[in-house]
Amino acid sequence: MSAQPDSIRTPEALDVAAVRREFPLLQTTVHGKPLVYLDSAASAQKPQVVIDAERDVYERYYSNIHRGVHQLSVLATDAYERARARVQHFLGAREAREILFVRGATEAINLVAQTYGRRNVGAGDEVLITGLEHHSNIVPWQMLCEEKGATLKVAPIDDAGVVDMAAFEGLLGPRTRIVSVSHVSNALGTINPVERMTERAHAAGAVIVIDGAQAAPHLAIDVERIGCDFYAFSGHKVYGPSGVGALYGRAALLEAMPPWQGGGDMISSVTFEKSTWAELPHKFEAGTPNVAGTIALAVAIEWLEGLGLEAVAAHEDELLAYGTELLSAIPGLRLVGTAPDKAGVLSFVLDGVHPHDIGTILDYEGVAIRTGHHCAQPVMDRYGIPATARASLACFNTREDLDALARGIGKVQEMFK
């Protein structure tokens, strides 16, 4: 997260003013103040091209997919499958059939737990996660472990919010069947060393699932380089629509896995005696999906790649460094989560002021942040706090946004002094 001085910026540096103009919502006001949106870790705003893409589907070629011989169905199916190829390249997967469309990261993780997990985890086995997981990477494993009589192990984090790798490795053992870790923590911003974790998990004979919900908007992802078995992300956090996301799974594993939901599209033949399953990826895509949303997700990814993933990351790193310095200078403010390797998140608490009050007062200044436990109660417990205030960064944020945040915090402190 090193700040880049202006002098060594490449010509491709992000034109943030131009990026901002693409977002209709960023032109609006809240309580009479220009909107300062610092809540993209919860969900990102959408550029016009994504909004237009979804409408375009409905206006020009919407139909169900994989089902008709008519022209519209051919067009819609074709666009849907091109979206799959786009996601494949975004994640660096070898084959398009390794990409399954789902509702989002939550559904992706549940899919792995309910199929691979139920088939491969038994009594006395273990699932390993870390102390900085989102509830959606805790609860599906708890449900699985409870059903199977397996044990959920948790690798602890240190005060900075970094996973204790010695403990992580110590918790891997001959009974570890699945390791599931976030690539980037939503509550603290910590980037996990997923390549090393993957190597360790594989050495112990376990598969590894990576929850990339917070990584996808910030980091260039390459599942082949990481070497992971599964990778999950949500469309709405990468400037795409809500309710659609993807799961990458290694083809050999997906082929051996039983289907999850049964229904249309996922079968090759059905009789009342027995049904046989369709080929990948359709085996895992029962029912009519979010056709327009999936196509718009691919447009969002294309748009993000068009900005340049490296330019976006450099811009956000620079903002993170700026924001870290700015907030650290505020008396009575404590940053929660200070890992050396971080992306996109400034979580903090203020002496004598509950995060909920910070959120309400900032909202009056037009500054949207998230307050609460961020679906990561165990992280809050680790720090002995009920909640934090969290400002999170996106490609469209600026130093002025962070200045507005700091000024707003000043008003909070004035109110509560």
Partner 1 sequence: MNDLRELYQEVILDHSRNPRHFREMPEANRHADGHNPLCGDRVTVYLHLAGDVIEDVSFKGAGCSISTASASMMADALRGKSVDEVRALFDRFHDLVTSDPSHAADQLDASSELGKLAVFSGVCEFPMRVKCASLPWHTMKAALEGAARASTE
In 92-138, alpha helices (H): 105-112, 118-120
- The one of ligand PLP, partner 1, none whose footprint includes residue 386, by CB under 5 to 8 A per kind, is partner 1
Contacting range for ligand PLP; rule: CB under 6 A; set: 20-28, 132-140, 170-178, 266-274: 132-140
- The one of ligand PLP, partner 1, none whose footprint includes residue 180, by CB under 5 to 8 A per kind, is none
Q: What's the min distance (Å) between Cβ of 328 and ligand PLP? A: 24
Please give the backbone phi and psi of residue 249, each rounded to the nearest 5 degrees, phi first: -140, 140
Q: What's the min distance (Å) between Cβ of 354 and partner 1? A: 4
Is 386 a residue that touches partner 1 (CB under 8 A)?
A: yes
The DSSP letter of residue 3 is: P
d(CA 245, CA 247): 7
Q: Which amino acid is at 122?
A: G
Q: Name the strand (E) or helix (H) holding 100.
A: strand 99-102
Q: What's the min distance (Å) between Cβ of 214 and ligand PLP? A: 5
Which one of residues 1, 105, 181, 314 is an interface residue with ligand PLP (CB under 6 A)? 105
Q: Tell me if residue 114 falls in helix, strand or coil.
A: helix
Contacting range for ligand PLP; rule: CB under 6 A; set: 129-137, 140-148, 287-295, 305-313: 129-137
Q: Which of 315, 373 has the CB closer to partner 1? A: 373
Sheet strands (E) in 223-305: 230-234, 245-249, 267-270, 275-277
Site residues for partner 1, 344-363, by CB under 8 A, read: 352-357, 360-361
Is 30 a residue that touches partner 1 (CB under 8 A)?
A: no
Which one of residues 134, 200, 315, 370 is an interface residue with ligand PLP (CB under 6 A)? 134
Strands 345-350 and 367-368: unpaired
Q: Is 375 a catalytic residue?
A: yes
Q: What's the min distance (Å) between Cβ of 155 and partner 1? A: 24
Is 136 a residue that touches ligand PLP (CB under 6 A)?
A: yes
Which one of residues 153, 183, 237, 373 is an interface residue with partner 1 (CB under 8 A)? 373
Q: Which of 134, 250 has the CB closer to partner 1? A: 134
Q: What's the min distance (Å) between Cβ of 249 and ligand PLP? A: 17
Sheet strands (E) in 149-295: 151-155, 176-182, 207-211, 230-234, 245-249, 267-270, 275-277
Site residues for ligand PLP, 210-239, by CB under 6 A, read: 211, 213-214, 234
Which one of residues 186, 290, 324, 392 is an interface residue with ligand PLP (CB under 6 A)? 186
Q: What's the min distance (Å) between Cβ of 363 and partner 1? A: 8
Burial of 275: CB neighbours in 10 Å, binned 0-12, 13-18, 19+: middle
Q: Which of 276, 127, 271 is nearest to 209 (CA)?
A: 127
Q: Which of 341, 381 has the CB closer to partner 1? A: 381
Which one of residues 182, 190, 371, 388 is an interface residue with ligand PLP (CB under 6 A)? 182
Angstrom distances, CA of residue 112 to CA of 171, 213, 376: 21, 15, 20
d(CA 402, CA 408): 10
Is 370 a residue that touches ligand PLP (CB under 6 A)?
A: no
Q: Which of 45, 92, 321, 383 is nearest to 225 (CA)?
A: 92
Counting residues that bind ligand PLP (by CB under 6 A) gives: 13
Q: Is the peptide bond before 281 cis (omega within 30 degrees of 0)?
A: yes
Angstrom distances, CA of residue 25 to CA of 44, 54, 142, 143, 171: 11, 17, 38, 39, 46
Q: What is the DSSP code string of 24-82?
A: GGGG-EETTEE-EE-BTTT-----HHHHHHHHHIIIII---SSS--SHHHHHHHHHHHH
Q: Which of 263, 352 has the CB closer to partner 1? A: 352
Is 387 a residue that touches partner 1 (CB under 8 A)?
A: yes
- The one of ligand PLP, partner 1, none whose footprint includes residue 70, by CB under 5 to 8 A per kind, is none
- The one of ligand PLP, partner 1, none whose footprint includes residue 134, by CB under 5 to 8 A per kind, is ligand PLP
- In the complex, the residues that contact ligand PLP under the rule CB under 6 A are 104-106, 134, 136-137, 182, 186, 211, 213-214, 234, 375
Give catalytic residue positions.
375
